[in-house]
Amino acid sequence: MQNMTGLSVNVTSYIDLSLIIKVCVVIPFFFIFLSCIVVMLYIFASHRQFLDSSRYSLFASMLISDTVQLLVSVLLFFLVVARVKFALVYCFPLLFISNATFQNTPLILATMSLERYVAIIYPLQCPPAWRSDRIWIIILSVGILSCVCTITECSIGPQKNTLHILLTPVVCTHLVVNSSPIQTLFKTVVNILCFAAVAVIILFTYVRILLETRKLRQDRTSVSKAMNTVLLHGFQLLLCMLAFTIPITESLIVLHSNLLPEHISFLNFFFFILIPRFLSPLIYGFRDQSFRNYIGKTFVRCSESNRESKG
């Protein structure tokens, strides 16, 4: 009896220790990301040259989408790890936001590639929809499309809208809402079509810009930057697609290691969801020379103000 008690205490302490380690790894990582995003959004909102640019408006919308997606994902992950149960009526909005923002980012990447294409092909006569004062219509349309896909996915499954089901405490995972094979199939098909369409758009814009370079009498430097930007969007898309490798990596890790399922889930979450979403906007933001200069000035100003306050 004493052995059983000691064993249960050891297991409990081991679980608590692993949970503490996960929190200590993810939380600092996320707050570093959040601080960088806040600085970028502050720079965007405080300088007119960025507000009047369609390109930077799209970039700001991607920053917001990725930040919301990471915030909700981190919250859901720790709720699942801690086995916190709450009513499905509160779980569903979190899952909805997570799914919608996950699909929104690749669509924004495609839109940003098209914006670069329009800027190079029509430098003097930009179509009205792509002007800085109307780009919010495209951003809103992309967001609505992401929400419609998520709503459709939840609507095609078996209906469980009784009050008892909605108030039943559950561990908030995607399997709670998307439990039917039809929903799984629909989600898989939508994700494949979405990412395939985005990849085609990025490839199309890159090839067209490459071909038009020989015809247009423009500054070669600006055209080269546009081509590099489109290539960067392709790399960002690959980072987003790493989330689809989770089932494969889980199978491989289970076969070749003795890790517990919750540890495997954490490794997949950290390396294939958290880090790619962390790197994607930061690479784009720090690569841009204008943004990079303002980011450096902002951090220098913050460090100087901290010194003055301490002095």
- Domain 2-310 maps to which CATH number in 1.10.490.20, 1.20.1070.10, 1.10.3720.10, 3.40.50.300? 1.20.1070.10
Which string of DSSP letters, residue by residue, matches 40-103? Answer: HHHHHHH-HHHHT-HHHHHHHHHHHHHHHHHHHHHHHHHHHHTT-EEEHHHHHHHHHHHHHHHH
Query: Mean pLDDT throughout 194-216?
Result: 82
Long-range contacts of 15-21, Cβ-Cβ distance < 8 Å, separation of 24 or more: 18/262, 18/263, 19/81, 19/82
Task: Specify whether the CB–CB gap between 43 and 50 falls below 8 A.
Answer: yes
- For the segment 118-153, what is each residue's pLDDT rounded down to a tens digit? 888 887 777 888 888 889 999 999 999 999 988 887
Mean of pLDDT values over 186-197: 84
pLDDT at 140: 94
pLDDT in tens, 270-299: 887 788 877 777 787 777 777 788 877 777
299 vs 158: CA distance, rounded Å: 52
Percent of the chain with pLDDT over 70: 78
**Interval 214-259: pLDDT, tens:** 665 555 666 677 777 888 878 888 877 777 766 666 666 655 666 6
pLDDT band at 303 (very low <50, low <70, confident <90, very high): low
- Its pTM stands at 0.82
Query: Phi, psi at residue 85, to the nearest 5°?
Result: -110, 135
Which is more confidently placed, 219 or 301? Answer: 301
